[in-house]
Structure 1
């Protein structure tokens, strides 16, 4: 008898498995359909001995000390700040758009103050900002939107930015200085020996058993367990009762080249040419020294493994129906990008998994009060004398 069956050995499942096994002495079985652990973060040495990410580049960054400190229990780190160039008008320019991007693109020599005025002069007033197109044109205007965002988004998502929620392009900042880092998080680093090595240490506890190449349907009636933690697609769990939630997928084409360096930086985006969106050279990410190099081309597609939930209001409405079912399903806990239909970064998935563990262990519950006020419950309850509210695990009075 296992205390928990965990479906999926990516970040969400592996983090919860480790915490339950090491902190609560629970017996855990973690399974995965794929022949490996680590989910989409899986990396391995290819036939030429180069460390590559099978499912495209995974770059770790976070502002959460809790998440970084937790993962540091299972890996040493290699400091790494990610940089991206975009191929626009025959030039390679920094992305996200910054001061150097504008000066190089237009042959100008603006200062930070002047480029801010430049952005204001070309920006369009959009009220309210609803779509991904609205986000960009309200910041940098129509021309830069066309050069950098529109066609890239069309390739990536299979639809025009005007059809997508504002959250998609809101992830990409616009800068008035020369900061060419893709991320500005406090903690930016890569696992020193790779993600798979980190996952092996995460799952090394004697209370954790691993089964790969396994569909959970095949063991439900065979292996006894008390509760399930599910990290797969939520619509699939409920047999698509309310229809299939749409995802974007990717095809990866890996290539090893007989030279030490191929790209001028880790990633080059191609918004307006080619069927692929970007090319990544892994040695920038890993720091590996090798006389050859390996790159991957990413081709977005509609069918295949689910990678990106498609952020549109109608999809959110379908997910909310599934969420009601999930919340009402006893003994099953849904966590991770696919199970909660959210476009989470790796650190956000880790944080979500740690929060679930705290809930399962009874250490902490987060209660939402009116007007968005939150409190945390430790133990059996707490009294808020100032507002005349008494809250316990059994209810609110």
Structure 2
């Protein structure tokens, strides 16, 4: 993943040399869908049934526990199909890992005298006197309101970690397994991402599950309608800001979540500046 010209040449035993060649081939495979509503529609409309069944159908069924025809079009729209040789998942200009890893990055972000870290504490167990005037809540929005309208559906993951006595397990960082007969969806080998050099290697198998910590909001119209009921309750709360995948029930990538957080901060900073200025003027 993703499908590119190398994929097409290997799968169909072709010798496509240019982007134009690949685009023409994909156009010939495409099966136009009059009204694109589901994830199946997106892929079949762009690349046809064969590539859809080979790469998307089984993987989506495993990942979401649903057929692509039952999921919103946004799910498979996230996975690009390319006509060039670029095999990166994302096309962002800058792609990097934190120099010392994500754990150290968050430790440094939290290392501030105004921040108290309380792990293993449930928000709902806190007394009103223990709450700040403003809370940023990134947990499941339905849980915050006691599942008043019923639980929102989520998908989870179970991980199996292995350390192997070999230098390398696979040729790239992540290999996806679209075949429904394979119980896991992908294997990640971390040294490709970190640049570490070592005689052993660490890998992780990912198994989608309906049970466990909520990871993925499930994009379906009926789920979005249920979320809107919770969003209406959230909009009535001036003391809580709901953010993140779970707080806003959206399938965000990491960069999108960071962008959401920074945009929220800017709005808060502007609001506080206005309030501080108004208070200063009143005092004068």
TM range (shorter): over 0.9
**Residue 207 in 1 paired to residue 114 in 2?**
yes
Structure scoring higher RCO (CA < 8 A, sep ≥ 6) equals: 1
Counterpart-to-counterpart distance in 1, 2:119 and 2:23: 53
Select which of 131, 139, 144 maps to 1:237: 144
Query: The residue matched to 1:226 in structure 2 has which SS?
Result: coil
**Residue 251 in 1 paired to residue 158 in 2?**
yes
Structure 1 position 328, deviation (Å): 0.4
* Residues 306-333 of structure 1 deviation map (CA, whole Å, 9 limit, x = unaligned): 0000000000000011000000013111
* Residues 274-283 or 110-119, more deviating: 110-119
Which runs of 5 or more residues in structure 2 are unaligned?
276-284
**Residue 226 in 1 paired to residue 133 in 2?**
yes
Select which of 294, 297, 300 maps to 2:208: 300
| Superposition map of 1:260-299 within 5 A | 260-272=167-179, 273-299=181-207
| Superposition map of 1:11-30 within 5 A | none
Match of 1:44 in 2: none
Structure 1 position 340, deviation (Å): 0.3
Structure 1 position 218, deviation (Å): 2.2
Select which of 326, 349, 352 maps to 2:234: 326
Structure 1 position 223, deviation (Å): 2.1
* Residues 208-217 or 317-326, more deviating: 208-217
Query: The residue matched to 1:248 in structure 2 has which SS?
Result: strand
Match of 1:150 in 2: 57
| Superposition map of 1:1-397 within 5 A | 95-112=1-18, 113-221=20-128, 223-272=130-179, 273-362=181-270
Hey, which bits of structure 1, 4+ residues long, moved more than 3 A?
A: none
* Residues 185-244 of structure 1 deviation map (CA, whole Å, 9 limit, x = unaligned): 011000011001000111111111111111122222452522211110000000001110
- Bigger helix share: 2
* Residues 29-83 of structure 1 deviation map (CA, whole Å, 9 limit, x = unaligned): xxxxxxxxxxxxxxxxxxxxxxxxxxxxxxxxxxxxxxxxxxxxxxxxxxxxxxx
- Measured on the aligned residues, the alpha-carbon RMSD in Å equals 1.5
Match of 2:279 in 1: none
Counterpart-to-counterpart distance in 2, 1:292 and 1:271: 27
* Residues 110-155 of structure 1 deviation map (CA, whole Å, 9 limit, x = unaligned): 1222221111111001011110000000111000100000000000
Which runs of 5 or more residues in structure 1 are unaligned?
1-94, 365-377, 381-397
Structure 1 position 159, deviation (Å): 0.6
TM-score by length of 2: 0.93
Query: The residue matched to 1:135 in structure 2 has which SS?
Result: helix
* Residues 269-295 of structure 1 deviation map (CA, whole Å, 9 limit, x = unaligned): 110141000101011111112211010
